[in-house]
């Protein structure tokens, strides 16, 4: 990679390709999910297939202003909208945002979509949201401090930040050995980025997929605290689709509030 490499532009194109390749996180929810959400039977995920506990959300979701941060794909945003929230979805991928617009048009939902980098929320005013909902996506961001600062800024006092992220330890392992033989072979130093791999190896391992970055728990948890948040809840879950699930939680989730 050259010094002029733009990871945001690269990952935008990569996630557009993931939509075309029918990645599971790009498949919109169906009408039956929206119908249940309208009737009060709804759930969304931050990590893997684990529903977020309902008590992580405001007691009254109807009318709450929710920012689905780096959360395109027609999954979480439409469900929260059908449950009564006023939903804005920001995502780096135009095709992922198309998925949210598709569901909104099909179901008569009002969802505002914004194309952008999760580190830059300058499109939004201070204290404009009650909830920032950020499922596993900061693995595609080079740095996290701006994400936490901007999330804090756009939340109202008492607002809630919900985040799903990767356990950084999963990046220790050789990826072909893990995916092809289900072997956990320690290979990489942390923090790790797929940009650290030689071009040929990165292409053979990740193909045309997005660039990934591991982030330390200091960056994840400490970063939220440094931005001013108060952590209130923590959860973990095994990865839904790889061999690490036999040994360790690969997903973490946090709930934090703005005092």
Residue 106: inside a domain, yes or no?
A: yes
Place of tokens 């108060």: 230
Residue 202: inside a domain, yes or no?
A: no
Residue 205: inside a domain, yes or no?
A: no
What's the pLDDT tens digit per position in 221-242? 999 999 999 999 999 999 998 8
The range of the structural domain enclosing residue 244 comes to 7-166+214-257
Residue 105: inside a domain, yes or no?
A: yes
66 burial type by CB count under 10 A (0-12 exposed, 13-18 middle, 19+ buried): buried
Number of domains in the chain: 1
What's the pLDDT tens digit per position in 26-67? 999 999 999 999 999 999 999 999 999 999 999 999 999 999
Residue 137: inside a domain, yes or no?
A: yes
Q: What is the CATH number of the domain that holds 14?
A: 3.40.50.150
Residue 175: inside a domain, yes or no?
A: no
CA distances from 64 to 50, 111, 133, 160 (A): 23, 13, 12, 11
Residue 3 has pLDDT above 70, yes or no: no
Residue 171: inside a domain, yes or no?
A: no
Alpha-carbon radius of gyration of the chain: 18
What's the pLDDT tens digit per position in 72-90? 999 999 999 999 999 999 9
Residue 79: inside a domain, yes or no?
A: yes
Residue 2 has pLDDT above 60, yes or no: no
């Amino acid at each position: 990679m050259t010094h002029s490499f733009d990871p945001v532009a690269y990952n935008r194109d990569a996630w557009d390709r993931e939509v075309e390749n029918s990645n599971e996180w790009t498949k919109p929810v169906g009408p039956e999910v929206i119908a249940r959400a309208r009737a009060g039977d709804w759930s969304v995920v931050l990590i893997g297939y684990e529903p977020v506990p309902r008590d992580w959300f405001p007691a009254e979701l109807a009318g709450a202003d929710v920012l689905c941060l780096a959360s395109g794909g027609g999954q979480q945003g439409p469900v929260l909208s059908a449950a009564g929230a006023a939903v804005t979805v920001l995502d780096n991928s135009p095709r992922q945002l198309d998925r949210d617009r598709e569901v909104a048009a099909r179901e008569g939902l009002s969802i505002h979509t914004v194309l952008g980098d999760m580190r830059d929320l300058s499109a939004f005013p201070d204290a404009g949201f009650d909830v920032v909902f950020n499922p596993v996506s900061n693995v595609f961001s080079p740095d996290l401090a701006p994400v936490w600062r901007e999330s804090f800024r756009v939340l109202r006092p008492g607002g809630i930040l919900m985040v799903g992220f990767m356990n950084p330890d999963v990046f220790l392992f050789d990826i072909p050995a893990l995916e092809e033989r289900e072997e956990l072979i320690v290979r990489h130093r942390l923090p790790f980025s797929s940009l650290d791999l030689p071009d040929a190896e990165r292409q053979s391992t990740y193909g045309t997929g997005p660039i990934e970055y591991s982030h330390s728990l200091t960056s994840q948890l400490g970063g939220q605290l440094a931005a001013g948040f108060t952590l209130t809840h923590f959860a973990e879950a095994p990865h839904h689709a790889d061999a690490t699930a036999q040994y360790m939680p690969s997903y973490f989730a946090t709930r934090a509030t703005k005092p």
